[in-house]
Amino acid sequence: MALEEMEKCAAPAPASSDWGLFYFILGLVLIPVALPFIFLECYYRLKVKKYRNELAGKVVLITGASSGLGEAMSHTFYKAGCKVILAARRIDELERVKKDLLALDASAITYPPVIMAVDLSELKEIQNFGNKALSVHNQIDILINNGGISVRATAMSSAVDVDLKVMLVNYFGSIALTKAIMPSMLKRKTGHICFISSVQGKFALPYRSAYSASKHALQAFADSLRSEVANKGIQVTCVSPGYIRTQLSVNALTGTGKSYGKMDKTTATGMLPENVAQRILNAIVGNEKDVMIADLKAKFAYYVRYMCPSFYFWIIGNRARKLEKAEAAEQKKCK
């Protein structure tokens, strides 16, 4: 027994050179694959860094700027040296955002923010609002259509009035403002339109029929508009974020039009709005056309939806059934 142990101890260890050869071969295989992506990433970063300085002094109009992602973008573009015009329904909240901006210790030269009240559901007033916004600095360089509302209800339990309101604010309000601002951009042969859509504009989820429909429409409008103005100096970016840590679900509507008033778990654990705002700024600076800002789960769902739709529909069907059971259990508990 002792002899066997001695023989084991005397056995030579695996040569480290074998592992070195393995890593060398692995490197030869992976490096050619990785290099194009590394070069593209470096090119993108240099491009963003180069054109970021050109943002200074640009006039940026942001709707839905009183809270959430809109507020985060207000900070991001203000600190980049832009002349921000902040628009939303709640003028008192805009005053708060303005006060916060003026208190910032920004490294770049900054300009006093301008706040304006707008209700995207009042389509007849949007042209006048657009004219007033243009008169502030005599131009709008970047329009960010961010204002919107969400809904938490099944398709059948949603009143048609709720469907209309969500579509009115999220879709018609944004395109009405775009049409109010676009002529001045076309005249100057320069400008950038940014639509804040959602991953749910790319693939729909249960209990989001009205919201998903409005974002689907916004995505299609952006794609069509982009092709029409491609040779007229106008850039169009459509951003589709996943869940963001904002009050979107709390302020969402129910099927009857009342306030949902609850924070969804997915929203509470979502991305920080400041990080999303920075990514949007980079997308605009880099003239990106269609941007999805989401986790791997959402991106996986997007590709499955179009590459293997039957599997996607099975997954979403199961999700809908689970949500239905959870809602029934909650209602029973409340009784």
Backbone angles phi, psi at 54, to 5 degrees: -75, -10
Catalytic residue among 207, 211, 302, 312: 211
HSE toward the beta carbon, residue 65, CA cutoff 13 A:
33
312 given a catalytic annotation = no
SS (H, E, C) the chain: CHHHHHHHHHCCCCCHHHHHHHHHHHHHHHHHHHHHHHHHHHHHHHHHHHHHHHHCCCEEEEECCCCHHHHHHHHHHHHCCCEEEEEECCHHHHHHHHHHHHCCCCCCCCCCCEEEECCCCCHHHHHHHHHHHHHHHCCCCEEEECCCCCECECCCCCCHHHHHHHHHHHHHHHHHHHHHHHHHHHHHCCEEEEEECCHHHCCCCCCEHHHHHHHHHHHHHHHHHHHHCCCCCEEEEEEEECCECCCCCCCCECCCCCECCCCCHHHHCCECHHHHHHHHHHHHHCCCCEEEECCHHHHHHHHHHHHCHHHHHHHHHHHHHHHHHHHHHHHHHHC
Strand partners, 232: none
For 155, the token pair is 């398709």
Length of the chain: 335
| CA–CA separation, 331 and 335 (whole Å) | 6
| CA–CA separation, 99 and 103 (whole Å) | 6
Q: Which residues are catalytic?
A: 211
